[in-house]
A and B are shown apart, each in its own frame.
Chain A
Amino acid sequence: MIKLIERIGRSTIAMTESLGRASLFLWMILVGLNTFVARVSDVTRQLFNTGVLSLPIIMVSGLFVGMVLALQGYNTLKDFGAEDALGVMVALSMVRELGPVVAALLFAGRAGSSLTAEIGLMKTTEQLSALEMMAVNPVHRVVMPRFVAAIVALPLLTLIFMSIGMLGAHLVGVVWLGVDAGAFWGQIERSVDWHEDILNGMLKSIAFAFAVAWIALYQGYESIPTSEGVGRSTTRTVVQASLWILGLDFVLTALMFN
């Protein structure tokens, strides 16, 4: 019994310590934002790495998610003679939930893991120490540009995911299954609210981007500088970021739509 209490105590202390270090790390990033102007070129380069290079997986996934939603939705709505509502069903699912959540999960797998591995390897190859020795704060030079780039990139990728998803739904619903194009797009225009749906979806996306970037960069920065250590940190990034996205999604949905 005492051993169990000991173990719980030890893991609680470790968790609190880790949370404290992560908070301090976040604070250092936020302080580093005052060097943003001097680091614009670094941010742009990271926008390419995290954003542009994530485009293929986001676009292809968006297309398929939209197509599958349309196919499943059509089969259900047809039973009630409500095929014309297919567009709005897909649009609301995409804008409120699937767009922000699936894009963030894909982003965590594609860009988050890459951020962790890259920074972990920079630590392993002493590049972060080299920056310190050149009197350059590695958080300002390496971490802050990646953090800003991730927060800008994910909402944009989410918008692209949603748009391509709607295109996929149009291909299946209108072109293949014969739903009336006017009804499909007209109902979307009438029912999807700019503030209630699109803005809230984007807010979710920004929150997810914040969580993924924070977790990925912290895991990379704190990784044990060995190949095994970097591998473990990369896995932790994908697992933790995915769980945080889903948990945050529930909380934000409850706050926004309840």
Chain B
Amino acid sequence: MNAIELKHVSFNRGNRVIFKDVTMQIPQGKVTAILGPSGTGKTTLLKLMTGQEVPLSGEVKVLNTSVPNLKTKALLALRRKMGFLFQSGALLTDLNVFENVAFPLREQTQLSEGLIQNLVAMKLQAVGLRNAAKLMPSELSGGMARRVALARAIALEPEIIMYDEPFTGQDPISMGVLVKLIRELTDSMGLTSVVVSHDVAEVLSIADHVVILSDGCVIAQGTPAELEASGSDWVKQFLHGNPDGPVPFHMPGQHYSEDLVAQ
């Protein structure tokens, strides 16, 4: 069963084509990695799934609900079933760690203060930062901020959680912690995880399903093993980080010899 389905989705930003006829499925209860070079619109794809952007054409279905046609109230109700980890963490800078994690609980539920305190402690314990509850976001390292944001994203126990470039700028230890947390939270909470990234090795180590995007199209999808065995030059270049191949080292344009001045 699929948690998210995109069928023939096209999306433009101004005159620039971002997606043309993208079709993909994100299976329920699995970790799905969306890979692709910078600027391919991976974050935009997440925004289409969360209803922050509307496609030009095609269908975006999340939990069997068509997202682009939703009215504001229904969209907000759907978002309560989704968690989103932003690249920067996006913690509210005027609230401390505890209040950041408690924020969605206070906004979206009528739980008692005691219950909120216990739930926040549990979420912070899950990401290993229960003892950082009183710190302000400015006192956290980048990795800690993302873990707090992760605790906040799971506060309402969503069905789907989306990670936008969770490993960017992380040291190896923080990266290892995040990789472990994504896998463990998916398994223990029965979540559907969508990880957008270009850190191939880390993502492939935890992904059950992989989608590779380039030039506004899905160029390959399948399990990590299927992609490793793929004969596509493009997939090989991307997975192994080769500097030259279908994506050329030199930007296409006029020939080098034409730029050299004759002596």
Q: Of A45, A130, A136, which one neighbours B86 at CB under 8 angstroms?
A: A130
CB atoms of B90 and A136 under 8 A apart:
no
How far is B109's CA from A136's CA once the two chains are assembled, in angstroms? 12
Report B74-85 CB contacts with A as 1/0, cut-off 8 Å: 001101101110
A37 within 8 A of B: no
A134 within 8 A of B: yes
B97-150 with Cβ < 8 A to chain A: 103-104, 107-108, 149
Given A126-B88, A126-B90, A130-B86, check contact A136 B50 (CB 8 Å).
no
CB atoms of B90 and A127 under 8 A apart:
yes
Give the Cβ gap from B223 to chain A, nearest Cβ, in Å: 29
How far is B153's CA from A127's CA once the two chains are assembled, in angstroms? 13
CB atoms of A130 and B84 under 8 A apart:
yes
How far is B77's CA from A130's CA once the two chains are assembled, in angstroms? 15
In the complex formed, the residue of A with least CB distance to B80 is A135
CB atoms of A125 and B90 under 8 A apart:
yes
How far is B162's CA from A129's CA once the two chains are assembled, in angstroms? 13
Q: Of A45, A127, A129, which one neighbours B52 at CB under 8 angstroms?
A: A129
How far is B149's CA from A125's CA once the two chains are assembled, in angstroms? 13
Chain A contact residues: over half helix, strand or loop, or mixed? helix
Q: Of B80, B82, B92, B104, which one neighbours A127 at CB under 8 angstroms?
A: B92
B40 within 8 A of A: no
Chain A-chain B contacts (Cβ-Cβ < 8 Å), number: 46
Give the Cβ gap from B120 to chain A, nearest Cβ, in Å: 14
Report A124-140 CB contacts with B as 1/0, cut-off 8 Å: 01110111111110000
CB atoms of B86 and A129 under 8 A apart:
yes
Chain B contact residues: over half helix, strand or loop, or mixed? mixed
CB atoms of B90 and A135 under 8 A apart:
no
How far is B19's CA from A231's CA once the two chains are assembled, in angstroms? 32
- B84 proximity list for chain A (CB < 8 A): 130, 133
In the complex formed, the residue of A with least CB distance to B75 is A135
Give the Cβ gap from A70 to chain B, nearest Cβ, in Å: 42
CB atoms of B50 and A133 under 8 A apart:
yes
CB atoms of A134 and B52 under 8 A apart:
no
B87 within 8 A of A: yes
B93 within 8 A of A: yes
- A126 proximity list for chain B (CB < 8 A): 86-88, 90
CB atoms of B92 and A130 under 8 A apart:
yes
In the complex formed, the residue of A with least CB distance to B82 is A133
In the complex formed, the residue of B with least CB distance to A124 is B88
How far is B2's CA from A46's CA once the two chains are assembled, in angstroms? 45
Give the Cβ gap from B74 to chain A, nearest Cβ, in Å: 11
Given A125-B93, A127-B93, check contact A134 B79 (CB 8 Å).
yes
In the complex formed, the residue of A with least CB distance to B92 is A127
CB-defined A-B contacts under 8 Å, sample of 5:
A127-B91, A127-B92, A127-B93, A130-B149, A136-B104
B positions within 8 Å CB-CB of A: 50, 52, 76-77, 79-80, 82-84, 86-88, 90-94, 103-104, 107-108, 149, 152
Nearest first, the 4 A-B pairs at minimum CB distance are A130-B90, A126-B90, A135-B76, A133-B84
